[in-house]
Amino acid sequence: MEKEIDKNAVVLKAEGNTGVVQIADDVVAMIASLATTEVEGVSSMAGNITNELMSKVGMKKLTKGVRVDVKDGNVAVDLAVTMEYGYNIPATCQKVQNKVKAAIENMTGLNCTDVNIRIAGVKVK
């Protein structure tokens, strides 16, 4: 059903002759980022120094702190997050993993095999 055409997108072929749907990897990364930040206890996505500098000059990227790898209809996601102080890290990460997996699978039809989380920091109010 799926056919990978390049490293930045996956094409979903329909059963009929109506055409194809192409999903860019950045779209999958954006879905993962939005699902992550909806979980209580997650302060924000954390990015590398380039992303941090670009956000200071007004160029915010919604896929900051997210890396996706799509192969053969399977998605592996790596997230870097900043947690809120006082939340249980393992329990919050489990919620993030479940929410990201469900969001990607429901919105794209792809199989989400891995959701790896790196805690990049803790935000104190």
Q: Tell me the pLDDT tens digit for each residue of 25-39.
A: 889 999 999 999 999
Residue 13 domain-assigned (yes or no): no
Residue 100 belongs to domain with CATH number: 3.30.70.1350
pLDDT of the residue at 34: 92
- Is residue 118 over pLDDT 90? yes
| ∠ CA 52-55-96, rounded to 5° | 70
pLDDT of the residue at 73: 85
Residue 2 domain-assigned (yes or no): no
Residue 48 CA neighbour count, 13 Å, CB half:
3
Residue 50 domain-assigned (yes or no): yes
Kindly report, residue by residue over 78-104, the tens digit of the pLDDT.
999 999 999 999 999 999 999 999 999
- Is residue 4 over pLDDT 90? no
Question: What is the rounded distance in angstroms from the CA atom of residue 38 to the CA atom of residue 10?
Answer: 26
Bigger pLDDT: 121 or 12?
121
Tokens of 45: 């996505």
Residue 12 domain-assigned (yes or no): no
The domain of 112 spans 25-123
Residue 107 domain-assigned (yes or no): yes
Query: What total of structural domains would you count in the chain?
Result: 1
Residue 14 domain-assigned (yes or no): no
Residue 30 domain-assigned (yes or no): yes
